[in-house]
Each structure stands twice: as C-alpha cells, then as structure tokens.
Structure 1
C-alpha cells in the first residue's frame, strides 16, 4: 500500500517567495534579527555545553551568517543553505549536493513551514554522520498570541486563515522519537518584543521570514477590517506599546552510532 501523502498546509511557492523577500529586506541596515540571533546563540551554547566541535556542519536558514562564521572560527567545515535558493528540506538532502556525513545539522527558523515535517527530520537524520546531532529551532505553539487576537477581531464573524498552525513541545518530542533520533530533547523559550504599531509588527514578521505562506491564505483585509485590527492592537497594549510573544521550540537528537541510516 502506498504511503499517504502529507496534507498540503503550506504553499512551497509562497514559502520560497517569502524567503527571497526576507533576504532582500535583511539587506537594510536596521533589519530586525532578534529571532535568528537568539537561535544562533542557543545553538552555540548547546554545543559548548556538550563540549562538541563538529568537523562538518550543515546550517539551514541562518540568513545572518553568524552561526557559520562562529563554527568556522572553531575549525568546522560549514555548508550553508536556505529554502530561498531552492534547498528543499522535504527532499533527500543529498539529492542536491554532498549533503551527507555531517557532524552537525542546525536548522533555524524554517521547519515550521514544511508540509512533511516527519519526512524532513528523517532526511536530516540520514544526512548526519553516525553520532552526529541535529539541532532544529523554529516558532512553535504559543507564538503571536496578540496577532491571533487582532486577526480574529478584524475578521469578525467570518474568521479566515491568517496565521500558521504550530507544533508544541510535546508533539516535538514525539516527532523526534518517531523519526528514530537517539537521546531526543525538546524544549522551548520565549522572546517578548514591544511594538508601537501594527505596521511595525507586520514589518518585522516579513523581514524575518514569518509572513503567511499558507496554501489557502484567506482574502486580504478590507478597509473596515483593517481599522478593527488597528483598534484591537492598540487595545492590547499599554502606554503606546503592545507586546508580542515569539515561542521558540528547539528539538535536538543524535543519529545512533551504529545500525541505522
């Protein structure tokens, strides 16, 4: 019996276009990078705690380039890739180059918008060397609670799909076990950021590759809905500033040293 295809929640075409726009916006001198900076710092802290200096690493999605730079400074040979360049995390990684035998694969901020998340984790495991480690960070359940309330207020009685469904820590831990990683660890942390306007929040989402890439993104907001959105955003704040929360999930696991591809 053929395996059941994963549901098509996200549009691969919209996803690539979003990442390309993000890379353009990141060329601006004041581009927001607080989420990628947090993820990079976390990866380096984990490697330091493990006293691990991988010989080779694949870094996916780090548009800042800082993780690759830090790893190279430690003597690691680094390959960098991004979905915006056609790198497909849901396909066998070694189908687009010598993507195999890595001591470390670090995926930052991209796996939350793939349709076949278990498949992506399996392909990553196969691209690791025996004893290699995957560290994957992305936005998870609990992210953007203010934006969700704002969009519900804007849409009124006819809510439309606006924000992505998210993985929680428990589901993340089960995913690592299901895809046969050894010593799986799933944890989460949050980053809170204050915004003076809804436009600034939306701008930050676009600049950090977090805009809507749903296969069914819903209709654009009309004038009246946009007015309700601004009112709801202001009402959620205090002193002219509204705080939004970004919940970051990090999943890590090892490829067993023997007996598994």
Structure 2
C-alpha cells in the first residue's frame, strides 16, 4: 500500500468524541494491517498510559525541571527565520509546551496528542498566554508508535520528554518525518542514558542485593548521546543536530524524588520488571541514597540528562555538502597563503 493512500485512509478513520478531545485508533506506517511492526517489546505501553493518567492528577502546577526542558525546546523556534503554521505536539510534557509557547514559531494550528485522555484534559484546561489564544488548538488521544497523521501535513513536530518510552524509537521518528511537509522541522527532547545513573540506580542495586539477594531492573534503559545523531540520520532527517544538558535537581529525600517521578509519569514501565517492590527494599533504597549522596544542607541530588534532537525534512532549498572531489583549492594552497604558523 502506498504511504499517501495509507495516511488518507488513516485520517478518515479518526473518531471525534463529545468532549472535543479526539480519540484516535492506533496504526503504524509500515504495516497495512494495523499491527505494530516492532519485534522487540521493552516497555509496557498500556502501563505507561496508566502512569500518565495518574501523573495528570499528581503533576505540579509549575515544575521547574520540566518547564526548563520545555523552554529549551521552544527556544529553538526563535533560532528559525521561518514560521510553522501547523504543528503537532507529541506526548510527554504537553501541558508545559502549550503553556510556555508564547507565540513562538508563528503557529496557527496546534494539535496536542497524548496516550492519556486525562493528561490532555489537564492541558486543555490550563491557562495559556494571551499571544496563544488565537491559535486553533485540537486535542487527540493517540500513540507515538502509531502516528495518526496524514503524510506531509505538518510544518512542525515537537516532542518533549515522551519519545524515550517508545518501543520503536526509530520507527516513531520515521513516522514523524513522513508526517512533515518538505522543510518541516522535528524537535525532540528525551531523557539520556546518564539520567539517575549515578544516584538512584546505585542505591536501588545496593538495597536489592542487601535485602533480596539479587537485582531486578528498576530504572529503564535510555538512549546514549552517541546514538541520537544516528537515530536522526536513520530516520531520514537532514541537517541533524544534537546537544545535551544535565540538570541537577535537589530533593529533601529519596522518597520525594520518587513522588516527582510519578508526577512526571516517568516511573518504571519495563515489561520484564519485578511488579512487587517490597517496603523494606524501598526504605533501604531511600536510606542508602541519603547516606551515599546526601549534601551538607540535608538535600539529595538527582541528575537528569536531557538529549535535544533537531532534524529537517529534505527540501531543495536546504544546504547540502559538496560532492567529494569538487574542491577548487587545496589545503597546501591555504597553508602557503596564510603561513604554517608557529
């Protein structure tokens, strides 16, 4: 089945709900029968949706860490001279993105998509800047792994702290590229592999060895920085860009850190997880965390690594590397002209 025909059929099958939040069936771009093509299942997507439902009720009105990441993503729109009339915001921190948009990007039509109906409702009810009130906004319940969007229909796709929970991250990024118009922009922020690695992972491992005599995965595997550029290239994006930030957030205790992770919807969703966390193990984890990493002021630090990815859909106007052997001047000529230096 041709991609364009598939997307047209997919778009027509959207179901509008009475609450003005759309409910979308799940499909995948590379499999016409609607089944997910990824053979490897790492995360329990059904559980992740439940965690995001819970996060919608636990989330803080203004989370300084999440807001900082959202601001960093949106700042990249100010570096672009062009505008993006039609934009899609995928999962993750949808509420901060909408709240902090403040007219950036020249967006006229905005689609907010999340797997959680409750999260979208929170986003819909949130206060927005006066500059964004003229934006035509719609809300769609959908899955990043089965993007319910027509081919070449969007100018901009933003994903803030959501794509790292997909089982097929390359596939989700390929679908995003297909959904973009030529010269469309893809912006994403995902948690990197160094997130909580030094503190929480060590504390969990020591506590489980001490209390249970063995370990089970408690922190999800995350992408490494070296993989991000390869992901963009593999998905077919041009002019790929990757940069990294580390955020150190201070908490009063390890238990407060866990509550924050729940409020962000970032708790463990591994399929091969131990579904029961013993109370004594969790208390031991908190005690070990405090004793090993506690600061003099009584707080404990938690390190979050955020990887920012930027990619464009190919367009003739974009800069391109010259073909090999087309240079008209050699390095020897440059050296002779400017001197070898000291």
Length-normalised TM-score, structure 2: 0.68
**Superposition deviation, residue 99 in structure 1:** 7.2
**Superposition deviation, residue 100 in structure 1:** 4.7
**Superposition deviation, residue 149 in structure 1:** 1.0
Matched, 1:83 2:115: yes
Matched, 1:117 2:149: no
Q: Distance in 1 between matches of 2:66 and 2:151?
A: 23
**Superposition deviation, residue 161 in structure 1:** 1.0
Given that residues 152 and 181 in structure 2 are in contact (C-alpha distance below 8 angstroms), is that contact kept between their aligned partners in structure 1?
yes
Aligned partner of residue 277 in structure 2, secondary structure: coil
Superposition pairs of residues 200-219 of structure 1, within 5 angstroms: 200-219=256-275
Aligned partner of residue 261 in structure 2, secondary structure: helix
Deviation string, structure 1 residues 206-237 (Cα, Å, up to 9, x no partner): 10111111112214332432332122111111
Give the unaligned 5+ runs of structure 1.
none
Q: Which deviates the most, 100-109 or 60-69?
A: 60-69
Q: Distance in 1 between matches of 2:104 and 2:110?
A: 7
- Corresponding residue number in structure 2 for 1:10: 43
Q: Residues 195 and 77 from structure 1, CA distance in 2 versus in 1: closer, same or farther, beyond 3 angstroms?
A: same
Superposition pairs of residues 178-217 of structure 1, within 5 angstroms: 178-217=234-273
- Corresponding residue number in structure 1 for 2:278: 222
Given that residues 194 and 244 in structure 1 are in contact (C-alpha distance below 8 angstroms), is that contact kept between their aligned partners in structure 2?
yes
Deviation string, structure 1 residues 32-71 (Cα, Å, up to 9, x no partner): 6233312221122111112332111101221235357424
Given that residues 10 and 214 in structure 1 are in contact (C-alpha distance below 8 angstroms), is that contact kept between their aligned partners in structure 2?
yes
Query: Of 289, 302, 316, which aligns to 1:244?
Result: 302
- Corresponding residue number in structure 1 for 2:206: 153
**Superposition deviation, residue 182 in structure 1:** 0.3
Matched, 1:49 2:62: no
Given that residues 140 and 247 in structure 1 are in contact (C-alpha distance below 8 angstroms), is that contact kept between their aligned partners in structure 2?
yes
Given that residues 71 and 78 in structure 1 are in contact (C-alpha distance below 8 angstroms), is that contact kept between their aligned partners in structure 2?
no
Query: Of 19, 34, 37, which aligns to 2:52?
Result: 19
Given that residues 77 and 104 in structure 2 are in contact (C-alpha distance below 8 angstroms), is that contact kept between their aligned partners in structure 1?
no
Q: Residues 177 and 36 from structure 1, CA distance in 2 versus in 1: closer, same or farther, beyond 3 angstroms?
A: same
Larger Rg: 2
Deviation string, structure 1 residues 57-86 (Cα, Å, up to 9, x no partner): 101221235357424794532111112134
Q: Residues 4 and 43 from structure 1, CA distance in 2 versus in 1: closer, same or farther, beyond 3 angstroms?
A: closer
Q: Distance in 2 between matches of 1:242 and 1:78?
A: 39
Aligned partner of residue 125 in structure 1, secondary structure: helix
**Superposition deviation, residue 4 in structure 1:** 7.2
Matched, 1:63 2:118: no
RMSD: 2.2
Given that residues 93 and 123 in structure 1 are in contact (C-alpha distance below 8 angstroms), is that contact kept between their aligned partners in structure 2?
no
Say which structure, 1 or 2, has more relative contact order (CA 8 Å, 6+ apart). Answer: 1
Q: Distance in 1 between matches of 2:276 and 2:107?
A: 48
Q: Distance in 2 between matches of 1:101 and 1:67?
A: 24
